Structure 1
């Protein structure tokens, strides 16, 4: 029951802007049991902050993250599928050793236990999402492309999966595979955004949280694509791949 948000701007965006929208997504969604944010620093490296509290109850974040500005962010707001998995190391996004990308998942991988033993030495937490993250890493090491690796991760682990990857030297990747929580891409006053829809099958997210959004496009299910800079024309999915399950 998590929510995801990623943004990309032509100019630096203060993290307070991110706090504002992340708090609204948490308030109107089901999250509040951990959260995290990743961003690119001035050198393009990926930095990360995460907490076991929800963003509204995280008193450390405003002081710790004060002054951060970046053109790109990725936010994960957590509501675990298994409540006993509430723990710091189960908070997302995950960050690879080279700090070249951050990975976040919304949904539940129903076959995660079948792969847990294989990744036992790499796992820090107990969530199904971290198994998905490690599987994605493995596909990349197996020389599959980043978008194909996202698709293969969902195909192998099953269940429902919205995925986002913030990358050091390329645009963020999006994968929509959760029909209970559709993912949308839109322009918000010159900032290109993608967000999940609060597990609501209507347009409430745009009526209440992003009322000034334009060029709203629902990402088709089982489709992966790259978040590009803000566009004047509606987004096209010609370069996205689609695998119907």
Structure 2
């Protein structure tokens, strides 16, 4: 299963400030089956990089992406439940074609097959992974008057399964929904950077011992809630309100 994290800070930071943490997350999360990153560039737009190689096996990508300065980012490290999905179209995060957000997930989405068939008929599916189906649903459900926290909660309710969900929106807001009870989600600070990350499937909090030993302001994100990073990297942790009115289809 995959690992991923969102990061945000009040002032721009180089992404490679997070690379030592990312290396440890990949190592201890056994997630070296592809990686990707999305970030807000100096032009104020979403940019991304994806590679089928492990983070440590992509030195060119690490160097290029690491040199970028940003205030908000999303990084995904892949460990697929099905090795048949080891291909670039299945590598995360997934970018919204309209440029509104970038999306990733850890775990599994359960009831995705009917929508996969419908999206495939529309020419909107390019890989084999369940995450892509969730990304297409989010494209259809995305609304300016609905919070990302509500949308992530609605996505989890729609598909079921055990899934942690992360979104980096084009306005720089960053959100992480905790929905996988086997892989806890933790929030903390790495220097001035606020981070919300999956926890290497370690229920005993060994995450902080091995992956983020210098982390401060540590906290566990409750299952079924969304942690959103404020503009200064602080964590706003709230249970999403009722989402019964949110729907999206393939037709």
Is TM > 0.5 for Structure 1 vs Structure 2?
Answer: yes
Matched, 1:194 2:196: yes
Gaps of 5+ in 1: none
Q: Residues 153 and 216 (structure 1 numbering): CA distance in 2 closer, same or farther, change over 3 Å?
A: same
- 1:128-167 superposed matches below 5 A: 128-140=130-142, 144-167=146-169
Residues 40 and 46 of structure 1 are in contact (CA less than 8 Å); yes or no, is this contact kept in structure 2?
Answer: yes
Calculate the TM-score normalised by the size of structure 2.
0.89
Q: Residues 49 and 170 (structure 1 numbering): CA distance in 2 closer, same or farther, change over 3 Å?
A: closer
SS state at 1:71 partner:
strand
Residue 45 (structure 1) shift: 0.5
- Tell me the distance in 2 between the aligned counterparts of 1:142 and 1:135: 15
The CA RMSD over aligned residues, in Å, is 1.9
Q: Residues 38 and 170 (structure 1 numbering): CA distance in 2 closer, same or farther, change over 3 Å?
A: closer
Gaps of 5+ in 2: 243-251
Range that drifts further, 30-39 or 112-121: 112-121
Spell out structure 1 runs of 4+ moving beyond 3 A.
Answer: 141-145
- 1:46-61 superposed matches below 5 A: 46-61=46-61
How many equivalent pairs are there?
239
Residue 62 (structure 1) shift: 3.3
Range that drifts further, 136-145 or 206-215: 136-145
- Tell me the distance in 2 between the aligned counterparts of 1:143 and 1:130: 24
Residue 18 (structure 1) shift: 2.6
The residue number in structure 1 matching 2:249 is none
Calculate the TM-score normalised by the size of structure 1.
0.91
- 1:114-129 superposed matches below 5 A: 114-120=114-120, 121-129=123-131
Whose relative contact order is higher, 1 or 2, with alpha carbons under 8 Å and at least 6 apart?
2
- Tell me the distance in 2 between the aligned counterparts of 1:142 and 1:12: 26
Residue 64 (structure 1) shift: 3.5
The residue number in structure 2 matching 1:212 is 214
Residues 186 and 216 of structure 1 are in contact (CA less than 8 Å); yes or no, is this contact kept in structure 2?
Answer: yes
- Tell me the distance in 1 between the aligned counterparts of 2:13 and 2:147: 30
